[in-house]
Amino acid sequence: MSFSTHNWRDSLSFFESDLFKKVQLAQLFPDSKTFADAIGKTDLYSVLIAYENACKEAEKQADTVDLKAFVAMYFDMPEMISATPEGEFDSVADYIEKMWKVLTRTPDTQQRDSLIALTRPYIVPGGRFREIYYWDSYFTALGLIDAGHTDMAINMLVNFVDILNEVGCIPNGNRAYYHSRSQPPILALFFTLLKDELNEQQKEYVIDGLKKEYQFWMRKTDDGETLANSDANITGNDKSKVQLRTVTMPCGAILNRFFDTEPTPRPESYREDIETAERIGADKTQFYQHVRAACESGWDFSSRWLANANALETIRTTEIIPVDLNALLVTLEQTLADATSGAEAMRYEAAAKVRIEAINTYLFSKEKSGYFDYHYPSQKQTPVVSAAMCVPLFVGIANQEQANQVCSTVINKLLKKGGVVTTSNSTPQQWDSPNGWAPLQLFAVEGLRKYGFAQHSETIMQRFCKTIEGHFASSGVLLEKYNVCEPEIKAGGGEYDVQLGFGWTNGVYTRFQTYLNR
């Protein structure tokens, strides 16, 4: 298998250009992602040359370039993905089945935008999200498989290994501006989900990809001087000790954090990041890396990452050892142990055992009854009660007593009228109360089922499905997220309006219906 290389890297210089920055700061579009996804009417290099020439001509006239007119002349703006499929649909299940076609994208060889081209068809989430997203796709795949579209799920899995080989990680999404960050590592889960449907060549290809993904999460940088926010990992003046996504704990074990090597505003949120950074009165490069790391977490944004739950400018993501990330990396290590043999398998198996012990040492609290993120500079757990504590149950690394405590906390503090709330903190951020998200419902349901809490699991499924069905009855669409505290109210919070469509909601609802109708 091979990846058709296109010049997606050329768009990286476009994001650094004077044209891009001026357009974003001029706020020509309400959503900064719009221009980051703009499609050039010719290649982006030629567009930048044209802008340079336009600036020279304007300077002769003691004038400036009309940005709005220039953008209209040289770019086509991307459209929002429709949330309503063609034809009639009379149920949520019928709507979802028809939406698969709406959300399908086919390979595109043109390179006049920020897309990183893929060789196989794939499913996008919907709305402003016009590209494939990494961890979204696992939950989407559940619904695809249950609906008999296993071939599409396999396409997406192979696409991820393709892009891993091309970029060096599985990026947040297949956009050039995501190249420096990934998302929660679900490749091992995806492989396990489809293993019996893959041919031998595909299995070998994906296993090789699993090894490369593990290397991505565990590697250290060879240039510590460029990393503004890694000082906590430096021993004395030894810059070789600087680590990217790994942290050496006091006992010597290695756990992981989210990170992004780029200390700059996100191209897709350029103006917003600069405006927020202006309020912090501190090192802006650290702020940008914390923000980008939160995007890698998938929880952008949440009080999990904030020193002050109500102030985004206090974000400190790279200082946090997250429960969910490390639980998912146990699964990656265990999957590699099963997929390899001899000394190699023993290394992965040993790494998984060390990680599990470290998770139980630093991230579990008997006093607080659950798993909690760990702030390693202060060597203390954070106080945020979040649905991330379900992931150790989902991957099966908790003992029964730990599972009992997590179950109690989830039911007493996180389960609401419409499903499981993201955290117990009510804030302006979208990954906090009152919002509930499909992937977290899935983690909670599967985790509780695994440890014998079938009734609680069924309650979560019924409540979340009822929430989805209630909104569908009034709006005719499915949403990216839901207000699970007051299900009749539309969800809000975050940097953008709630999106419609929607990939992972479609997948998780379909999987829950499969369980409930057995």
Active-site position among 136, 268, 300, 432: 300
Bridge partner list, 173 = 133
- Structure-token pair, residue 311: 């102030």
Rounded to the nearest 10°, the torsion over CA 489, 492, 496, 498 is -40
Within 10 A of 72 (CB to CB), how many other CB atoms are there?
A: 12
Give the integer Cα–Cα distance in Å for 238 and 94.
60
Cα 101 → chain centroid:
23
Residues 263 and 285: beta-carbon distance below 8 Å: yes
- Structure-token pair, residue 308: 């002050």
Cα 497 → chain centroid:
17
Is 480 catalytic? The answer is: yes
Give the integer Cα–Cα distance in Å for 313 and 59.
38
Which residue from 469, 412, 420 is spatially nearest to 441, judged by alpha carbons? Answer: 420
Residues 444 and 420: beta-carbon distance below 8 Å: yes
Residues 19 and 51: beta-carbon distance below 8 Å: yes
- Structure-token pair, residue 466: 């009822």
Rounded to the nearest 10°, the torsion over CA 135, 137, 138, 143 is 150
Q: Where are the beta strands (DSSP E) in 318-472?
A: 320-321, 364-365, 370-371, 374-375, 380-381, 415-416, 419-420, 435-437
Provide the phi-psi class of 176: left if phi over 0, else alpha when psi is between -120 and 50, else beta.
alpha
The span from the first CA to the last CA of the chain, in angstroms, equals 39
* CA 173, 179, 184, 189 torsion-angle sign: positive
Question: Identity (one letter) of the amino acid at 146?
Answer: D
Greatest alpha-carbon pair distance for the chain in Å reads 76
Give the integer Cα–Cα distance in Å for 468 and 483.
10
- Structure-token pair, residue 241: 């000790």
Query: What residues are annotated to the active site?
Result: 300, 480
